[in-house]
């Protein structure tokens, strides 16, 4: 092998080694950080493993939002109009959180069957429904059109 060829090969091997390490780490990190998304019905049917960290999406059921008066604890029920899941959250809810609005919450189920949310997301644009919430409602067979102010644009 000519010297410059050998050098070229060396560099290519070096890059290949670096890349495979990177790919390995990336795949590992990816596997560690996947959050599955479940609908209230799937949760009610027990598809979620114990202690699993996941996302849930649905509508905030009208008349269920209960805020504590002396702390930032909030309780509400999310629904896909087939099943309901109670959610508890401590903190300040996003601006567009309100009853009848689609939300996505991230967290885990506790022993009592209450979803302990570490994060609650609501959309910034109320004409826009999160694909996740829409999928949850579609899966439950509920009509989404009535819950989108401004229509489905």
Partner 1 sequence: MIPEVGAFSLILALCLSMMLATLPIIGAYQNNFLWMSMARPLSAGVFVFLAISIAILAYAFVTDDFSVQFVAQHSNSLLPDRYKFTAVWGGHEGSFLLWTFMLAGWMLAVAIFSKSMPLEFVARVLGVLGFLITGYILFMLATSNPFDRIVPLPPIDGADLNSALQDFGFIIHPPTLYMGYVGFSVVFAFAMAALLSGKMDAAWARWCRPWANTAWAILTLGIALGSWWAYYELGWGGWWAWDPVENPPLITWLFGTALIHSLAATEKRGVFKAWTVLLAILAFAGSLLGTFITRSGLLTSVHAFASDPDRGFFILAILGITVGGALLLFAFRAPLMKSEFGFDLVSREILLLSNNVILVVAAASVFLGTLFPMVYQAITDDLISIGPPYFNAIFIPLMALLALLLSIGPYTRWKRTSTTYLMQQLGKIALAALTLGVVLPLLVTRQISLPATMAVAIGSWIMLAMLQDLMNKTANKATRLKGLRALSFSYYGMQMAHMGMAIMLIGVALTSSFSSERSVLLSPGQDVGLGNYVFQFEGTASVNGPNYVGEQATFTVLEQGQEIAILHPERRIYLATNTPSTEMAIDAGFLRDLFITLGEQKEGDSWSMTIYVKPFVRWIWLGAIFMTFGGILAAADKRYRRLRRKQTESNRDSEKSNPIGGELQAGS
Measured between alpha carbons, how far is 138 from 81 in angstroms, rounded to an integer?
A: 10
Site for partner 1 in 75-134 (CB under 8 A): 90-93, 95-96, 104, 123-128, 130-132
Q: Which is nearer to partner 1, 63 or 127 (CB)?
A: 127
Q: Which residue from 69, 111, 112, 145 is in contact with partner 1, where contact means CB under 8 A? A: 69
Would you say 109 or 129 has its CB closer to partner 1? 129
Instruction: Give the largest Cα separation in the chain, rounded.
Output: 79
**What's the Rg (C-alpha) of the chain?**
22
- Show contacts with partner 1 in window 24-63 (CB under 8 A): 25-26, 29-30, 32-37, 55
CA distance 58 to 17: 45
> CB of residue 53 vs partner 1: minimum separation in angstroms?
9
Name 44's Cβ contacts closer than 8 Å, sequence gap at least 6.
Answer: 83, 84, 85
Helix (H) or strand (E) holding 26: helix 3-32
135 binds partner 1 (CB under 8 A): yes
Size of the site for partner 1 (CB under 8 A): 44
Q: Give the interface with partner 1 as residue ranges (CB under 8 A).
A: 4, 7-8, 10-11, 15, 18-19, 22, 25-26, 29-30, 32-37, 55, 67, 69-72, 90-93, 95-96, 104, 123-128, 130-132, 135, 150, 153
């Amino acid at each position: 092998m000519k010297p410059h060829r050998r050098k070229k090969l060396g560099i290519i091997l070096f890059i290949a080694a670096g890349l495979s390490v990177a790919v390995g780490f990336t795949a590992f990190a990816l596997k560690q950080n996947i959050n599955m998304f479940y609908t209230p019905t799937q949760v009610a049917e027990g598809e979620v493993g114990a202690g699993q960290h996941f996302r849930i999406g649905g509508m905030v059921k009208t008349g269920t939002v209960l805020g504590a008066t002396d702390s930032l604890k909030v309780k509400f029920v999310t629904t896909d109009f087939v099943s309901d899941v109670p959610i508890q959250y401590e903190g300040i809810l996003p601006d567009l959180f309100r009853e009848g609005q689609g939300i996505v919450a991230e967290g885990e189920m506790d022993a009592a069957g209450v979803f302990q949310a570490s994060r609650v997301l609501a959309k910034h644009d109320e004409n826009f429904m999160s694909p996740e919430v829409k999928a949850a409602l579609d899966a439950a067979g509920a009509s989404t059109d009535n819950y989108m102010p401004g229509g489905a644009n």
